[in-house]
Amino acid sequence: MDVLMLSRLQFAAATMFHFIFVPLTLGLSVLIACMETAYVRTGNEVYKKMAKFWGKLFLVNFALGVVTGITLEFQFGTNWSRYSMYVGDIFGSLLAIEATAAFFLESTFIGVWHFGWDKLSPKAHAITAWLVAGASNLSAIWILIANGFMQNPVGYVLRNGRAELTDFWAVITNKYAWLEFFHVVPASLLLAGFFIVGISAWHLLRKNNTEFFQKSFNLGISVALVFALFTAAEGHIHGNNLSDTQPAKLAAMESHWETQKNAPMYLLLIPGEDGNVLEALPLPGVLSFLAYNDFNAEVKGLSDFPKEDRPPVVLSFLSFRLMVGLGTLFILLAGFGFLVRNKVDQYPRLLKALPFCIPLPYFALWAGWTLTEVGRQPWIVYGLMRTSDAVSPVGAGEVGFTLVLMTLLYALLGAVGIWLMVKLAKKGPEDNTPIQA
Amino acid sequence: MTTLMETGSLHYYLAMIWFILWGVLWAVYFILDGFDLGVGTLLPFLARSETDKRALLNSTGPFWDGNEVWLIAAGGVTFAAFPYAYAQMFSGLYLALMLLLFTLIVRGVSFEFRSKVESPGWRKAWDTAHAVCSFLPALLLGVAFGNIFQGIPLDETGFSQAGLFGLLNPYGIAGGILFVTIFMMHGALWLCIRTTGELKARAESVATKLWPGVVVLTVLFLAYTAMSTQLFANYLVYPVLFVILLLPVAGLVLMRTYLGAGKYWMAWASSGLYIGGTALFGVVGIFPAIIPSSPNPANSLTIMNSASSPLTLEIMLVVAVIFVPLVIGYQSWVYKRFATAITEDDLQY
């Protein structure tokens, strides 16, 4: 394999692994802050217990998220140095602002939150929880603004052999970035909801700490339902926007080849890299409607893009369907769970199934990012710089070596981390050792 | 590489400000992460019981995460303000940097993992990982900065091909040894603040014994620097700059004085002054280069040929002026609130 493919694999491995932990951090931090706020407002100890129990799981998750994130910032320099030179003027400053304005806050106050249970008043402690939650989500904004620039570059001019910033306001108000934010953050809350619901269901089935886990279940399922709906609705707007910003991605995710008006969506479709292997059962105009909210609109097909400008079709197509399929499942599952939430003990099969649903939102998020990043190919910055021109002139041997090392290290740490979280989750809140123990 | 700016233009002064801030960020990173890396390195030598180990880990527990962000910020600022230098530095030092990142990853999770399972074998494994992965970053950072001070073999296209073994030259290794020793000293002083009883006595004795070592190594390193690098060139042109050397020297003297007097906070702050002063000395030495090229200085990456556009530098400056004081403010509050001598109740990791 050449250094380009190895670097792509390394980046994919690093981001996907990082992204096991990030969405839970984003979502759960907010829910924990809500629990602590409820404790401050009502004085009910059960909320404090909730914050502490879910907080313990949060901390293990957080540690893995932070340490794997550090690698990512530096990978732009190590593996994608030509990219860093070309767009560093814009992209680099966004990362630097993220560190200065958000990551500092998050990392400093996670220590305070962790060690401050006995040193701060409940109110002050709840404030630190909000600082951590706010800073994590603020981080997400800056990172997604940076990613938004790669998806839909704005506010720059090509000068001195690179992209130079001309309009910072355009960069930070990039519609693409904000559509990503309002898709990813609600999806993260949905994920945190299912995480809480899954673990609570496991305990409710065993009648452990019923009051505690019923309260947690109700919180989790409500959050999951609200944000499952929000994410799906926002996803539609996101798809609409693609027809303006990244028509090739839109065509690839639908495996749509011929430019046409009243474009159909096929219920049965087997995609291929050079045309569809099979297409049957068309729903006339549906694709046009999804792309433009208009059944008669013209949708550009992949055949109208030069072959070297087409993204990988099969992977884009499948990841899009996986994401949407799971999204639909979440709405149904969370809807049903919400309706029966107060008598959920009468649905043992649901309680048995829910813990196994915890991984599903992770798959949906991965699929979404696969579509986002693979669908952008062959561009690293859409329409501006090709991925193949962005890679560092380092040896394939070095990249291969660190790729293997990183994969082994991440697999080991991930396995240990997940094993620890399962262990802590099963132990439940009855364990009275202090949170830091 | 083309020259992008005129010396003396607004762009040049902006780049110069960012060069100074860049140096300050690295210095602050070394001062802050330095002590927790030092404490980690000292773990196998200082801790004799489980209680001792917990005390050592808890002494840095609430702080290490916030400290490490200074590395992210220093890296981010290199990327934002000097993208060409960032690209060269990080791809050129590819293996060393990856290794540094891997060790920081293992170290970070060891804080969270060690206490979660009640098994001596489990704890010992994470303690060992913690110590090794505190020692290696200190060493690698020293090697990396030693090589930057010395100059990196950049060719005319700018791309450096310095492999890991190319970095492990005698001067680079000298930098590594200096960093490890300094960080251990800094960590031992931190432990004098945060521990009590026998453990504190041991930390004090380690600090006292390390001090002459730090002095000798500093002198040797400076002599080695004068012989084998161009780092003194700026100083010889503007001898007034030698004043900067007073900072580390004052730091060294005050460190020993306060340690003897039992004023540990002041002793620790003095070692911070020493570290910051040493870093500043190096940064002023390489100016206007960020990555000096050796043997051909014409290929150096300087503030002139590697800076971002004036607009980016301006916006970043506004961000820095607003947020850096805020960060310093809340981090100081955390240190003040949480950096007291550890009691039995605090032994939680």
User: Given this model, what pLDDT does residue B344 score?
Assistant: 62
B24 touches chain A (CB under 8 A): no
A156 membership: H or E segment, kind and range: strand A156-159
Q: Which residues of B touch A402 (CB under 8 A)?
A: 94-95, 98
Among the partner-chain residues A76, A103, A437, the one whose CB lies closest to the CB of B72 is A103
Axis crossing angle, helix B10-46 with helix B264-286, rounded to the nearest 10: 140
A89–B83 CB contact, under 8 Å:
yes
Q: Which of A11, A78, A113 would best serve as a mutation to test chain B binding (most B beta carbons within 10 A)?
A: A78
d(C-alpha A13, C-alpha A26), whole Å: 20
Question: Within A310-384, where are the H helices?
Answer: 313-339, 348-357, 359-374
Check residue A275 and report its DSSP letter: B
**Is the CB of B342 inside 8 Å of chain A's CB atoms?**
no
Q: Output the pLDDT for position A188.
A: 96
Q: Rounded distance, CA B324 to CA B73, Å?
A: 10
pLDDT confidence bin for A360, thresholds 50/70/90: very high
B308 with A93: CB under 8 angstroms? yes
Chain B partners of A97 at a C-beta cutoff of 8 Å? Answer: 80, 316, 319
Residue A415 contacts by C-beta under 8 Å, 6 or more apart in sequence? none
- Is B330 contained in some domain? no
* A61, A63, A67, A68: CA torsion to nearest 10: 0
Q: Output the six-digit token pair for B250.
A: 């004052």
What number is the average pLDDT over the span A48-59?
91
**Nearest CB neighbour to A85, from listed B62, B83, B109:** B83
CA atoms of A337 and A331, how far apart (whole Å)? 10
**Which segment of A375-389, A420-434, B185-199 scores lowest on mean pLDDT?**
A420-434
Average pLDDT, chain A: 89
Under 8 Å CB-to-CB from B148, ≥6 apart: which residues? B89, B282, B286, B291, B292
pLDDT at A183: 95
State the Cα–Cα distance between residues B200 and A228, nearest whole angstrom. 54
Longest dimension (CA), chain B: 63
Contact A89 B338 (CB under 8 A): no
A260 phi and psi angles, rounded to 5 deg: -160, 160
A160 touches chain B (CB under 8 A): yes
Give contacts of A107 with chain B, Cβ < 8 Å. Answer: 65-66, 68-69
In a domain, B332, yes or no: no
Q: What is the pTM of this model?
A: 0.89
Q: Do B113 and A416 touch (CB under 8 A)?
A: yes
- A407 and B CB contact within 8 Å: no
A322 vs chain B: nearest CA distance in angstroms? 32
Q: In this structure, what CATH number is given to the domain that contains residue B188?
A: 1.20.1630
Domain that holds residue B302: 11-310
Q: How many domains does chain B have?
A: 1
Smallest CA–CA distance from B95 into chain A, residue: A398
Is the Cβ of A114 closer than 8 Å to some Cβ of chain B? yes
Compute the distance between CA of residue B187 and CA of residue B46 in angstroms, rounded to an integer: 11
Mutate to test the interface with A, among B70, B91, B314 (most CBs of A within 10 A): B91
Q: Is the pLDDT score of A437 beyond 50?
A: no
Residue contact B91–A96, C-beta within 8 A: no
Residues of B in contact with A114 (CB under 8 A): 61-62
Asked if residue B163 is part of any domain, the answer here is yes
pLDDT-derived band at A152, boundaries 50, 70, 90: very high
* B48 within domain boundaries: yes
Would the CB atoms of A108 and B88 count as touching at under 8 Å? no
- Rounded to the nearest angstrom, the minimum Cα separation between A25 and chain B is 15
- A202-228 CB burial, b ≥16 within 10 A, e <16: bbbbeebbeebbbbbbbbbbbbbbbbb
- Chain B residues close to A162, C-beta within 8 Å: 83
Residues in chain B, total = 349
Q: Please say if the pLDDT value at position A81 is more than 90.
A: no
A420: nearest Cα among B317, B106, B30, B122: B122
Contact list in A for residue B308 (CB cut-off 8 A) is 88-89, 92-93, 164-165
* Alpha carbon of A416: minimum distance to chain B alpha carbons (Å): 8
Mean pLDDT, residues A87-94: 91
Sites in chain B below the pLDDT cut of 50: 1
Pairing of β A162-165 and β A156-159: antiparallel
Q: Taking residues A198-203, what's their average pLDDT?
A: 94
SS3 content of chain B, % helix, strand, coil (to 5): 80, 5, 15
Q: Report the complex ipTM.
A: 0.85
Mean pLDDT of A363-376: 93
For residue B263, being part of any structural domain is answered with: yes
Q: How far is B6 from chain A (nearest CA, A)?
A: 14
Q: Which residues of A touch B108 (CB under 8 A)?
A: 63, 66-67
* A419 touches B at CB < 8 Å: no
- Inspect the interface and report whether the beta carbons of B65 and A78 lie closer than 8 Å: no
Q: How far apart are CA B8 and CA B304, in angstroms?
A: 10
Nearest C-alpha in B relative to A106: B66
Q: Is the Cβ pair A165, B66 closer than 8 Å?
A: no
Put simply, the answer to whether A393 touches B73 (Cβ < 8 Å) is no
Q: What stretch of H or E contains A286?
A: helix A286-292
pLDDT at position A234 is: 92
Q: How far is A422 from chain B (nearest CA, A)?
A: 12
Closest to A58 (Cα-Cα) out of A185, A188, A184, A203: A188
**In the prediction, which pLDDT does B120 show?**
86
CB spacing of A112 vs B84 below 8 angstroms: no
Chain segment B244-293, per-residue pLDDT in tens:
899 999 999 999 999 999 899 999 999 999 999 999 999 999 888 888 88
Inter-chain residue contact A100 with B323, CB threshold 8 Å? yes
Which residues, other chains included, contact A253 with Cβ-Cβ below 8 Å and sequence gap of 6+? A316, A317, A319, A320, A371, A375
Please tell me the distance in Å from A104's CA to the nearest CA on chain B: 6
| B337 inside domain | no
Does any domain span residue B333?
no
Binary contact (B330, A97; C-beta < 8 A): no
pLDDT of residue A91: 92
Contact in structure between A165 and B312 (CB atoms under 8 Å) = yes
Check residue A433 and give its pLDDT: 47
* Separation CA B240–CA A201 (nearest Å): 71
What pLDDT score was predicted for residue A394?
A: 80
Read off the pLDDT of each residue in A51-76 and give the average, rounded to a whole number. 88
pLDDT-derived band at A139 (thresholds 50, 70, 90) equals: very high
Three-state SS for B294? coil
Q: Per-residue confidence at A435, pLDDT binned at 50, 70, 90?
A: very low
CB contact under 8 A, B309 and A115: no
